[in-house]
A and B are shown apart, each in its own frame.
Chain A
Amino acid sequence: MVVDPAEIQLRTERVSAYFHGKAAVREATLVFPRNTVTAIIGPSGCGKSTFLRCLNRMHEMTPGASVTGQVFLDGHDIYAPDVNPIQLRKRVGMVFQRPAPFPTMSVAENVAAGLRVNGNVKRTEVSTIVERALRGAALWEEVNDRLDKSALALSGGQQQRLCIARAIAPSPDVILLDEPTSALDPISTQRIEELVQDLKEHYTVVIVTHNMQQAARVSDYTAFFYMGELVETGLTEKLFTRPAEERTEAYITGRFG
């Protein structure tokens, strides 16, 4: 895959991830161009979520987990000793499988949750940023009359978009989506997929999905993982129509996984 170096937002170099010394991802080298959507696909247990969690250093928060290799965000290795993972995570937002709004916070407080830890956001700016983030997550029209109500009163799909709003409120460079629609109904799923298209205007998006149709619909690039190994990566259109690898073809035609 040839990409102009200036257009590379995120790049991994021989990243391996381990649980208690056992490799879940082996030497994955991958490039994420700016303002694109990259889908990571593969059967359950292939290491795709683990790989995603290496991109914002969440993997190392699991007891017994470790990472080797390098991940470059705008050319800087995020695993360098002087990098504070807390600061890094403000630049790389993440949304998880199940919507996880904070139950003790209102809709607006949820969106602002990441701003508070940023410290230097002025109180007067918060409501502006909250509105912008909710609009960015295509949720503003639905919740602007109940910003001070419990986030738990929203539907599952709305809660997930709220989590997206929460992730984009601190203006990160990269958004990681870990199977964001696997707990949602088809209509909510469709809205999230449309939203992913909008998100790439401002952010570099990486989405893990077990749904190949979804990967084909939303992504520009696709990476196929199998048993911890990055088998193939390339333009989504090419990977799904003319895969170079036997295993990729077997997977996308449904012969396993």
Chain B
Amino acid sequence: MTRRRGRRRLVSRIMTGATVLAAILAVLPLFVIFADLVIKGVSSVNLDFLVKNPAPPGVPGGGVANAIVGTMIIVGLGALIGLPIGIGAGVYLAEYGSSRFGNTVRFIADVLNGTPSIVVGIFVWTWLVRPLGTFSALAGAVSLAVLTIPMVTRTTEEMVRLVPNSLREAALALGYTRWRTSVTIIIRTAWPGIMTGALVAVARITGETAPLLFTALGNLNFKTNVLQPMQTLSLQIYFYAIGPFPEWHRLAWGSALVLMALVLIFGITARYATRARYGR
């Protein structure tokens, strides 16, 4: 009896320890990456770095202002196109998605979710860049939107499904119409969760590089015209990192730090802005 209990306790401790270890290992990369970025990148980041455009090779200094603005434009545009479609599709799947059409949409969203982003880049290149005759920020935004939609569709569906059916019944019994129940009760209740999903998706596309190589292309100049090639931080990192100059490598680290900081600041702000009105 006591020996059994001893064994049971031991097993319990081992299992608890194993999950704690796994939890630590799960968050460890973030700290290592961030520490590494700070150590290697902080020396390049100063005010000039943030407000100046890239200098020609060999000329010291220069910054990533064009890439910061480009990232904001392309990611912002991508989110603007992708989030409403993704959230709308997710709500549809959760509320009316038990039909054959719903199952098809869900399946396709899952397949699209697993599609390599570089393939999406090639796809947008074929359908947008080639017909328009030019690489453009718009094409980049579309490729990021295509990546956003399936992610957001699935997270939105999950979040809307989490809303207890009792709330729907309560609203209907009060004389709410179906759509009014969906909008004012179900979606509103699921909103913080939907926004978390949207946030994760936007953070992910902020770091996307491969699809932008075929679409936004990159640009060493400061551009705000979305019909022209545009730089992003991720492209900047890529170009600088594969370049031959140590100065460029230093700038790549700096860009990476700025990109990471941008994602973090955006994440914290968005989380604060969309937090549940009544925390529990």
Chain A CB within 8 A of B6 CB: no
Q: Is the CB of B174 within 8 A of A166?
A: yes
> Residue A58 contacts which of B169, B177, B278 (CB distance < 8 angstroms)?
B169
Chain A CB within 8 A of B170 CB: yes
Q: How many A-B contacts at CB < 8 Å in the complex? A: 68
Question: Bound state CA distance, A103 and B170, in angstroms?
Answer: 12
One of A113-121, A127-135, A242-250 at the interface: A113-121
Q: Is the CB of A117 within 8 A of B167?
A: no
Interface bracket on B: 20 to 34
Question: Bound state CA distance, A158 and B174, in angstroms?
Answer: 19
- Known contacts A103-B189, A103-B278; is-contact A89 B164 (Cβ 8 Å): no
Q: Is the CB of A118 within 8 A of B164?
A: no
Question: Bound state CA distance, A100 and B171, in angstroms?
Answer: 9
Chain A CB within 8 A of B223 CB: no
Question: Bound state CA distance, A106 and B188, in angstroms?
Answer: 13
Question: Bound state CA distance, A94 and B168, in angstroms?
Answer: 13
Q: Is the CB of A170 within 8 A of B280?
A: no
- Known contacts A100-B166, A104-B188; is-contact A94 B173 (Cβ 8 Å): yes
Q: Which residues in window 171-217 of B have CB below 8 A to A?
A: 171-177, 180, 185, 188-189, 191
Chain A CB within 8 A of B277 CB: yes
Q: Is the CB of B277 within 8 A of A104?
A: yes
Q: Mark A152-167, 1 if CB is under 8 A from B, else 0.
A: 1100000000010011
Question: Bound state CA distance, A153 and B280, in angstroms?
Answer: 8
Judged by DSSP, the binding face of B is helix
Collect the chain A residues with CB atoms within 8 Å of residue B176's CB: 86, 117
Collect the chain A residues with CB atoms within 8 Å of residue B180's CB: 117
Chain B CB within 8 A of A47 CB: no
Question: Bound state CA distance, A93 and B280, in angstroms?
Answer: 29
Q: Is the CB of B278 within 8 A of A104?
A: yes
Interface bracket on A: 20 to 34
Chain B CB within 8 A of A102 CB: yes
Q: Chain B residue with minimal CB distance to A98?
A: B166
Collect the chain A residues with CB atoms within 8 Å of residue B170's CB: 96, 100, 102, 163, 166
> Residue A117 contacts which of B166, B174, B189, B277 (CB distance < 8 angstroms)?
B174
Smallest beta-carbon distance A107→chain B, Å: 11
- Known contacts A100-B166, A104-B188, A163-B170; is-contact A87 B278 (Cβ 8 Å): no
Question: Bound state CA distance, A167 and B277, in angstroms?
Answer: 24
Q: Chain A residue with minimal CB distance to B180?
A: A117
- Known contacts A100-B164, A117-B180; is-contact A152 B174 (Cβ 8 Å): no
Collect the chain B residues with CB atoms within 8 Å of residue A167's CB: 173-174
Q: Is the CB of A102 within 8 A of B185?
A: yes
Collect the chain B residues with CB atoms within 8 Å of residue A98's CB: 166
Smallest beta-carbon distance B262→chain A, Å: 31
Q: Is the CB of B189 within 8 A of A96?
A: no
Chain B CB count within 10 A is highest, among A96, A98, A102, for A102
Smallest beta-carbon distance A78→chain B, Å: 13
> Residue A89 contacts which of B167, B174, B191, B276 (CB distance < 8 angstroms)?
B174
> Residue B278 contacts which of A113, A114, A152 (CB distance < 8 angstroms)?
A152
Question: Bound state CA distance, A90 and B277, in angstroms?
Answer: 28
Question: Bound state CA distance, A13 and B231, in angstroms?
Answer: 73
Chain B CB within 8 A of A16 CB: no
Residue ranges of B at the interface with A (Cβ–Cβ < 8 Å): 98, 164, 166-167, 169-177, 180, 185, 188-189, 191, 276-278, 280
Pick the 7 closest A-B CB pairs, nearest first.
A150-B278, A94-B173, A114-B174, A100-B166, A90-B175, A89-B175, A100-B170
A-B contact list, 8 entries, CB within 8 Å: A86-B175, A87-B175, A98-B166, A102-B170, A153-B278, A166-B174, A167-B173, A170-B174
